[in-house]
C-alpha cells in the first residue's frame, strides 16, 4: 500500500531547462511534505518542504507546488544544472507513527550539459 508515489522513475533534461518532478499521495490528512535529494553512495539530504497551508514554496532554483485537491505535489528546478543530477524522493511524515518518513520510489534526474 504505497501512500506516496513517484510515477516517473527517470527524467532527462538539458542544462538550463526546467526539471519537473511529480509526486502523488493517497491520504488527504497529510499536511507536510518534503523533498530529498540523493547522490550515489551518499545519504539523502533534505532539499525543500511545504506545509499544506501553502500551495507554493520557493528556495532559490527549487520550487515545490502543492495541489491538495489532486493530492499532488511537484518539484521544479529552474534552471537545471549538471550538479542537480541525482535521485529525488518526495516524503511524508506519518504523525501517528512518530513522524517517520514514508518515501516515494524516487525519480532519477540526469541533467545533460
Partner 1 sequence: NAGVMQNPRHLVRRRGQEARLRCSPMKGHSHVYWYRQLPEEGLKFMVYLQKENIIDESGMPKERFSAEFPKEGPSILRIQQVVRGDSAAYFCASVGTEGSPLHFGNGTRLTVT
Q: How many residues bind partner 1 (CB under 8 A)?
A: 23
Q: Which residues of 78-113 are buried (b: 16+ CB within 10 A; e: fewer)?
A: eebeeebbbbbbbbbbeeeeeeeebbbebbebebee
Does 102 help bind partner 1 (rule: CB under 8 A)? Answer: yes
Peptide bond into 79 cis (omega under 30): yes
Nearer to partner 1, 25 or 89 (CB): 89
Which residues, numbered 47-86, are part of the site for partner 1 (CB under 8 A)? Answer: 49
Contacts with partner 1, residue ranges (CB under 8 A)? 6, 32, 34, 36, 41-46, 49, 89, 93, 97-106
Amino acid at each position: 500500500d504505497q501512500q506516496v508515489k513517484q510515477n516517473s522513475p527517470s527524467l532527462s533534461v538539458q542544462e538550463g531547462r526546467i526539471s519537473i518532478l511529480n509526486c502523488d499521495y493517497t491520504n488527504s490528512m497529510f499536511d507536510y511534505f518534503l523533498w530529498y535529494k540523493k547522490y550515489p553512495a551518499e545519504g539523502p539530504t533534505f532539499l525543500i518542504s511545504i506545509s499544506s497551508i501553502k500551495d507554493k514554496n520557493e528556495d532559490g532554483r527549487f520550487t515545490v507546488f502543492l495541489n491538495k485537491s489532486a493530492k499532488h505535489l511537484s518539484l521544479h528546478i529552474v534552471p537545471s544544472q549538471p550538479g542537480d543530477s541525482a535521485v529525488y524522493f518526495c516524503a511524508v511524515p506519518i504523525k501517528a507513527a512518530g513522524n517517520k518518513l514514508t518515501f516515494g520510489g524516487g525519480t532519477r534526474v540526469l541533467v545533460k550539459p
